[in-house]
Amino acid sequence: MPKERPCVLSIAGFDPSGGAGVLADIKTFEQHKVLGMGVVTGLTFQNDSEFDGVKWVEADEIIKQIEALTRKFKFEFIKIGMIQNLESLEKILASCKLQVTSCKIIWDPILKATAGFEIHKNLDKEKLLSILKNIFLLTPNTEEINIFTGLSDPMKSAEQLSKYCNVLLKGGHSEKKKGYDYLFTTEGKVYSFRPKEISETGKHGSGCVLSSSITANLANGNNLQRACLKGKDYVTKFIMSNKTLLGYHKI
C-alpha cells in the first residue's frame, strides 16, 4: 500500500489563468505528493499579465468552506494567500485555530497584484502585529515588508517582525542582492538562501508557488530551514521552466 499523503489546505484567491492563487497552490501541492485542498477567498478577473479586479468572498462564507473540510480532514499546515482585509484574516485565523488547534499557518501577504492592482492600501499596524502572533511563517517581498513596518530597510523590517513570527524575506524584488532570500526565525537566527539561477523575466504567481512549496515541504516532515531551501529550489525551476509568464510545475 502507498504511504498516505498529508492533507494541506490553501486559502487563497481564484486566478482563472492558474498561475497564482488556489490553482497554483494545488498544482504545487500535487508535485510535492501532498493531498491539496482549496478554499476560495476571492474571484479575480485576470490573466497572467492583466488584473481587472476582484469579487471578494465574505469571511463567513470562507469559514463555511473551512468548516466543511475540517470536519473530515486534518490540516497540520495551512497556507493563506490573498485576503480582503485584516479583519477577514483575523476571523479566518480564529476559525482555523478553532477547527485544528495545532495547525501552523503560512501567510503569503499579497498587497498588490503583479499587474499593479493595489489590494491593500491602509493597514492597521496594531492589528497586524496581533495577527502575526498566530502566524508560523510570513513570506513577504521587500516592498511588502516595508509597508508592514513603515521602515525603508527590508532586513531591519524582517528582524522587527521576527519578534512575532518566523519571516522569510523574498529577494526577487531586492535592489541589493536580487534573488537572495533570508529566513529570520523567532529564535533570532538568520539563514540566507542564494539563487542558483536568476531569470531576467519573472513569473506570474512565483510568490504563491514558493509559499505553497514551503507549506508542502513542512507537511512532508522537513524542518523550517530545509523547507525554505527546498521551496526556493522548486520555485527556481518554476521560474526557469520557460520564457512565458506562466511557469511549468515540476520537481
In b/e form, how buried is each residue of 78-103, taking b as 16+ CB within 10 angstroms?
bbbbbbbebebbbbbbebbeebbeeb
Which spans in 133-223 are helix H? 142-149, 154-161, 206-219
pLDDT of the chain, 251 residues: tens digit per residue = 678 999 999 999 999 999 999 999 999 999 999 999 999 999 999 999 999 999 999 999 999 999 999 999 999 999 999 999 999 999 999 999 998 889 999 999 988 665 555 556 667 889 999 999 999 999 999 999 999 999 999 999 999 999 999 999 998 656 677 789 999 999 999 999 998 888 777 899 999 999 999 999 999 999 999 999 999 999 999 999 999 999 999 87
Say what the pLDDT of residue 175 is: 62
For residue 36, give the nearest of 17, 56, 55, 21 by alpha carbon: 21
Say what the pLDDT of residue 179 is: 82
Determine the Cα–Cα distance for residues 100 and 74; give it in Å rounded to an integer.
7
The grid coordinates listed for 213 are: 512549496
Say what the pLDDT of residue 177 is: 72
For residue 135, give the nearest of 224, 208, 59 by alpha carbon: 224
* Beta-bridge partner residues of 118: 112
Determine the Cα–Cα distance for residues 190 and 66; give it in Å rounded to an integer.
34
